[in-house]
């Protein structure tokens, strides 16, 4: 095996193996477990850095293993895969730090961190899958690995959320499976290829297969759309908010919803091929579904008093920006959608970290309880404000960059209504985030907090491990906005991907 | 004397007798050593078969090119032939592979329970001898003898503990298995009357050339009898009490292996001598199989007792095996799917019964609701249950997933959309009953309901885990199994 074969495997193993070891560790081996977690997260970052340097230089990383005749377990670390891999690897490190602080003295930490590592492993597999078969394996692994995290608290309410989550995702998985097997029996393979494996096979298939390919597209998108929380498949996401804060952060910023959105990217670009998908009239319905989701999610967010639920509906809305970008036929929209995959991740994880801090430190769970929170917890509220402003698309934040590219893409594709959708959503974002900021910064302090756990020490408003991760990610939100033109920004990488995907279509 | 074929049958007979004479303590050690050697023999045989012919399993050609052994040097038609092809090798590997961890499990499980265990080791020996002889037999009458041996040993094991409920279940089981083998024997007699031979290899061309009505009746009788023994819906009534009532290691052996023996026989006959008659009625087992999947899963969802849940799940999972019959085509997909499902379900169900056995042993109760709080006390066992559940739900990367994938692909290739719907609903229903248990386990236990947990034995937990892990990991070795089944050149 060459280094180009084992490097993708090593990236997967760097969270899988520590995860399995952690399961076996007794509950009281806190230092060993923490050390192992951090070592694994750092090792993964180092491996990902190697991959990034290699892919930028034009190296190919791939691994293949035959499971059945004609069906391979296959990985490839291409530019698109690395976009998702680096996002997950970086945020995994911060979420791990945060979780160590958050779960201090809580029971069942071995189980929690074990499944947490499995989730990251599944995310890596989804990102680097080189065909739909492999994608499906890790997609279902993600479902299974997140369930114990959602129900981690073991209350009846957690069980309800977990059951709803399973019902949605397993049913979605079944649809996805039919789509994949159908495609496999039609084409004999389901590889991810630049320009689309279906597009390449069409001359052989003939035009009468068009309806089958349309049906398969519907099944595939419905399957991954459950995790991407496209309306009306989004019902599980607000319910899954019963999970502990690090899990919500992981679910919403890194693993689950992004896995769905990423699946849509792979299906549109590398299974069907963007031009072929357009010729089958598949992109416009997808764009409409995304637009409906964007507006509906924002509208529902307006009426949530529960802070995490408001954030959850905001996620429903924001993830569909990515899908809209993909469905806008043209390289500008592609860049906007792909870069939003990263930008939405860092912004939303910041918001969830902050929501967790409010709950852990002061017992604040509701927007109506947030009066004066900014004076008691200025750093957390600063991070929260940066994340919220980013979501609205304020200048100098990451959100502004993705929104600008999406709007340019919509203009280039002559889809004026998409521009309107994006503006409407920005207004709605402002309408549900600004009242929170107003309450936190400008309203007077209440007589007592709902449930204050962690007293303030000088300007250390809460535990260090809870405070540092949101500040770092909030800094990243600003950096990704201000330095978007530098060579190593998410934007530059998204442009590289768009260039490679579109060059493959029109050589 | 180094022929693995004969030793695979003789060895369990020897250690069964030895275990009877030595008693449970030393007998157990003898049995475990014996099964370990059998496993090695099965691997040797599989390697030999894998290196040799690659004709599609089950076809007449494969029986012709298979590895043979004539007992005592007397070949057919006078003597008894043993034959092994790819399908045989897979079944033998599965049998010994499931038996070895289960016997280790049983040794821990029965420790200190001398009354029941007295007969466990000898009966297991006879059961395994029956299996191995059944898979290796090459004529219809020997198949009958071995089928009877398997059935009687299994009934004995159900009745072993001697409680009233178990005796009742065993009697019901005895009637079912006797009626089943009686019908089979009647069919064999009719066939002998028509052709004057019972050798499968000799029969196949004869039935192909001309099949009088008597042979059709014989085929029907044999099929019905075997369906009864495989507990295909609506002949499943005897299975849940028998499998749900026996001690855990026995339930595991019954659900993982015993019902597969009669299924193996149906497959053998269907793709062998009765192939020309079978096409016309192929939809019948598929319809019954679909009904089994839906009804079995539904009953599992409703079951109050843990072991009944697992037993009903067996009824459902057996249904998948019967879906393959209308799909048996030239591409070999359906046959591969069937083989994979037999292996995956065998391992997973053994694991699940073992895990449930530990849960009941430790909590002292057997209702699904009593599992609450077990996740923190017995993580390994819960993991074993979960992994076995992954296989039963058909989620990747398990063997059950590959079976389902192949089955869906075969169904799509023939445009059988309703079957795809049944397969996927079966998977989702399985998720409902598997997660019914898992979510109970994750629930916090209110203090007033907390009951004392007995001390758990790590060996028991890890054996259940090993079987469950094998049922998942076998999915990554799909290539070898498919190759052994002979569908790939």
Question: What are A276-300's pLDDT values in tens digits?
Answer: 888 888 999 999 999 999 999 999 9
Query: Phi, psi (5° rounding) for residue B408?
Result: -65, -40
Contact B243, B255 (CB under 8 A): yes
Q: Which of A107, A151, A174 sits opposite B439 (nearest CB)?
A: A151
CB contact under 8 A, A166 and B427: no
- Å between B396 CA and nearest CA of chain A: 5
Contact residues on chain B for A179, CB-CB shorter than 8 A: none
pLDDT in tens, A39-69: 999 999 999 999 999 988 888 898 988 888 8
**Residue A28, pLDDT score:** 82
Indicate whether B109 pLDDT > 90.
no
CB contact under 8 A, A144 and B395: yes
Which ipTM did the prediction report? 0.89
Cα distance from N-terminal residue to C-terminal residue, chain B: 31
- Read off the pLDDT band of B72 (50, 70, 90): low
Question: DSSP 3-state assignment of A346?
Answer: helix
How many Å apart are CA B418 and CA B422, to the nearest integer? 6
Smallest CA–CA distance from A27 into chain B, residue: B376
Interface of B with A (CB under 8 A): 336, 375-376, 379, 383, 386, 390, 393, 395-397, 401-402, 404-406, 408-409, 412-413, 420, 424, 427-428, 431, 435, 439, 442-444, 475-476, 478-479, 482, 487-488
- Read off the pLDDT band of B177 (50, 70, 90): very high
**Residue B61, pLDDT score:** 42
CB contact under 8 A, B405 and A181: yes
Which of B381, B396, B488 is most worth mutating to test chain A (most A CB atoms within 10 A of its CB)?
B396
**Range A233-237 average pLDDT:** 90
CB contact under 8 A, A137 and B476: no
Smallest CA–CA distance from A147 into chain B, residue: B439
Smallest CA–CA distance from B333 into chain A, residue: A69
Size of interface A-B (CB pairs under 8 A): 83
**Residue B251, pLDDT score:** 92
Indicate whether B1 pLDDT > 50.
no
Indicate whether B235 pLDDT > 70.
yes
**Residue A292, pLDDT score:** 94
- CA torsion B182-B184-B186-B187 (nearest 10°) is 170
- Å between B482 CA and nearest CA of chain A: 7
CB contact under 8 A, A181 and B409: yes
Q: Which of B336, B424, B488 sits opposite A174 (nearest CB)?
A: B424
State the sign of the Cα–Cα–Cα–Cα dihedral B90, B96, B98, B101. negative
**Range B346-351 average pLDDT:** 95
- Å between A318 CA and nearest CA of chain B: 30
Q: What is the mean pLDDT of chain B?
A: 86
- Read off the pLDDT band of A506 (50, 70, 90): very low
- Read off the pLDDT band of B458 (50, 70, 90): confident
pLDDT in tens, B363-406: 888 888 878 777 777 888 888 999 999 999 999 889 999 999 99
Report in angstroms the alpha-carbon separations of B91 from A42, B94, B315: 46, 5, 20
| DSSP H helical ranges for A413-463 | 416-442
User: Is the pTM above the cut of 0.90?
Assistant: yes
The two tokens of residue B27 are 């007998």
Indicate whether A436 pLDDT > 90.
yes
Indicate whether B20 pLDDT > 60.
yes
Angle between helices B333-363 and B458-473 (to 10 degrees): 160
Q: Which of A111, A148, A185 sits opposite B413 (nearest CB)?
A: A185
Which of A9, A63, A170 is most worth mutating to test chain B (most B CB atoms within 10 A of its CB)?
A170
Indicate whether B56 pLDDT > 60.
no
Q: What are the residue boundaries of the structural domains of chain A, listed by start?
A: 292-507
Indicate whether A504 pLDDT > 70.
no
**Which residues pair with residue B81 across a beta bridge?**
B70
The string of DSSP letters for B143-164 reads: HHHHHHHHHHHHHHHHHTT--H
Which of A21, A64, A69 is most worth mutating to test chain B (most B CB atoms within 10 A of its CB)?
A69
Smallest CA–CA distance from B399 into chain A, residue: A67
- Read off the pLDDT band of B419 (50, 70, 90): very high
**Residue A137, pLDDT score:** 94
Interface of A with B (CB under 8 A): 23, 65-69, 71, 73, 107-108, 111, 136-137, 140-141, 144, 147-148, 151, 153-156, 159, 162-163, 166, 170-171, 173-174, 177-178, 181-182, 184-185
- Read off the pLDDT band of A204 (50, 70, 90): low
CB contact under 8 A, A182 and B375: no
Q: Which of B431, B443, B482 sits opposite A159 (nearest CB)?
A: B443
How many Å apart are CA A114 and CA A110, to the nearest integer? 6
Nearest to A121 by CA among A246, A225, A250: A250
């Amino acid at each position: 095996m060459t280094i180009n074969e084992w490097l993708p495997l090593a990236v997967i193993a760097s969270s899988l193996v520590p995860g399995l070891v952690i399961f076996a560790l007794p509950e009281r081996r806190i230092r060993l477990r923490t050390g192992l977690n951090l070592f694994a997260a750092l090792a993964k970052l180092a491996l990902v850095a190697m991959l990034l340097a290699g892919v930028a230089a034009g190296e190919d990383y791939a691994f293949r293993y035959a499971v059945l005749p004609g069906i391979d377990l296959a990985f490839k670390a291409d530019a698109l895969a690395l976009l998702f891999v680096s996002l997950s690897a970086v945020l995994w490190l911060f979420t791990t730090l945060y979780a160590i602080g958050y779960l201090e003295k809580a029971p069942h930490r071995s189980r929690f961190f074990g499944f947490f590592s499995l989730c990251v492993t599944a995310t890596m597999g989804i990102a680097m899958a080189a065909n739909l078969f492999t994608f499906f394996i890790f997609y279902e692994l993600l479902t299974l690995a997140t369930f114990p995290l959602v129900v981690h608290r073991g209350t009846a309410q957690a069980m309800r959320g977990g059951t709803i989550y399973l019902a949605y995702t397993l049913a979605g998985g079944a649809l996805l499976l039919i789509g994949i097997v159908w495609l496999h029996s039609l084409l004999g393979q389901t590889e991810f290829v630049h320009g689309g494996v279906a597009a390449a096979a069409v001359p052989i298939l003939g035009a009468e297969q068009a309806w089958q390919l349309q049906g398969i597209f519907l099944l595939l998108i419905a399957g991954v759309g459950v995790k991407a929380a496209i309306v009306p498949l989004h019902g599980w996401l607000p319910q899954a908010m019963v999970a502990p804060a690090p899990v919500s952060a992981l679910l919403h910023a890194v693993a689950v919803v992004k896995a769905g959105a990423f699946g849509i990217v792979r299906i549109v670009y590398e299974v069907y091929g963007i031009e072929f998908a357009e010729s089958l009239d598949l992109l416009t319905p997808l764009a409409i579904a995304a637009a409906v989701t964007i507006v509906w999610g924002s509208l529902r967010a307006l009426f949530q008093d529960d802070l995490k639920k408001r954030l959850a509906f905001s996620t429903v809305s924001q993830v569909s920006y990515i899908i809209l970008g993909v469905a806008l036929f043209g390289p500008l929209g592609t860049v906007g959608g792909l870069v939003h995959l990263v930008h939405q991740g860092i912004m939303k994880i910041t918001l969830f970290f902050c929501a967790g801090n409010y709950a852990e430190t002061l017992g604040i769970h509701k927007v109506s309880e947030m009066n004066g929170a900014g004076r008691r917890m200025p750093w957390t509220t600063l991070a929260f404000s940066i994340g919220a402003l980013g979501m609205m698309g304020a200048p100098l934040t990451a959100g502004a960059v993705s929104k600008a590219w999406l709007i340019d893409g919509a203009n280039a594709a002559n889809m004026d209504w998409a521009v309107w959708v994006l503006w409407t959503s920005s207004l709605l974002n402002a309408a549900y985030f600004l009242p929170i900021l107003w309450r936190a910064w400008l309203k007077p302090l209440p007589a007592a907090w709902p449930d204050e756990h962690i007293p303030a020490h000088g300007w250390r408003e809460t535990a260090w491990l809870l405070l540092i991760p949101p500040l770092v990610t909030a800094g990243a939100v600003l950096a990704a906005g201000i330095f978007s033109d530098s060579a190593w920004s998410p934007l530059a990488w998204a442009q590289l991907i768009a260039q490679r995907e579109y060059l493959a279509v029109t050589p | 004397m180094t022929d693995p074929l004969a030793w695979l049958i003789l060895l369990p007979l020897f250690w069964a007798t030895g275990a009877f004479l030595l008693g449970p303590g030393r007998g157990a050690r003898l049995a475990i050593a014996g099964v370990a050697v059998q496993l090695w023999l099965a691997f040797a045989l599989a390697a030999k078969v894998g290196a040799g012919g690659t004709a599609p399993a089950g076809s007449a050609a494969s029986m012709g090119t298979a590895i043979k052994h004539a007992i005592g040097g007397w070949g057919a038609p006078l003597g008894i032939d043993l034959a092994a092809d790819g399908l045989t090798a897979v079944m033998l590997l599965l049998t010994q592979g499931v038996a070895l961890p289960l016997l280790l499990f049983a040794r821990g499980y029965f420790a200190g329970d001398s009354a029941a265990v007295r007969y466990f080791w000898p009966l297991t020996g006879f059961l395994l001898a029956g299996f191995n002889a059944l898979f290796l037999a090459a004529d219809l009458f020997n198949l009958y003898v071995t089928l009877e041996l398997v059935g009687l040993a299994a009934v004995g094991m159900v009745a072993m503990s001697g409680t009233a409920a178990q005796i009742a279940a065993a009697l019901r089981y005895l009637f079912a298995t006797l009626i089943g083998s009686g019908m089979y024997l009647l069919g064999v007699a009719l066939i002998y009357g028509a052709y004057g031979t019972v050798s499968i290899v000799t029969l196949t061309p004869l039935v192909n050339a001309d099949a009088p009505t008597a042979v059709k009746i014989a085929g029907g009788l044999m099929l019905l009898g075997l369906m009864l023994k495989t507990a295909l819906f609506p002949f499943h009534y005897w299975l849940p009490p028998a499998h749900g009532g026996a001690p855990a290691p026995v339930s595991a052996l019954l659900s993982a292996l015993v019902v597969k023996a009669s299924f193996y026989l149906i497959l053998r006959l269907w793709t062998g001598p009765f192939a020309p008659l079978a096409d016309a009625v192929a939809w019948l087992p598929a319809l019954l199989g679909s009904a089994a999947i839906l009804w079995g899963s539904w009953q599992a969802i409703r079951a109050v007792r843990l072991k009944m849940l697992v037993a009903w799940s067996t009824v459902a999972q057996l249904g998948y095996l019967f879906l393959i019959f209308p799909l048996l085509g030239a591409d070999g997909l359906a046959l591969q799917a069937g083989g994979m499902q037999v292996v995956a379900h065998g391992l997973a169900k053994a694991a699940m019964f073992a895990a449930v056995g530990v849960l009941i042993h430790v909590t002292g109760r057997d209702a699904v609701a009593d599992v609450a709080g077990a996740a923190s006390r017995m993580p390994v066992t819960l993991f074993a249950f979960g992994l076995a559940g992954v296989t039963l739900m058909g989620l990747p990367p398990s063997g059950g997933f590959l079976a389902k994938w192949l089955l869906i692909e075969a169904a799509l290739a023939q445009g059988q959309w309703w079957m795809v719907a049944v397969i996927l609903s079966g998977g989702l229903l399985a998720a409902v009953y598997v997660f019914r248990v898992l979510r109970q386990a994750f629930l916090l236990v209110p203090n007033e309901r907390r009951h004392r947990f007995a001390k758990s034995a790590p060996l028991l937990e890890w054996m259940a885990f090993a079987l469950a892990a094998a049922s998942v990991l076998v999915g990554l070795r799909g290539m070898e199994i498919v190759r052994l089944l002979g569908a790939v050149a």
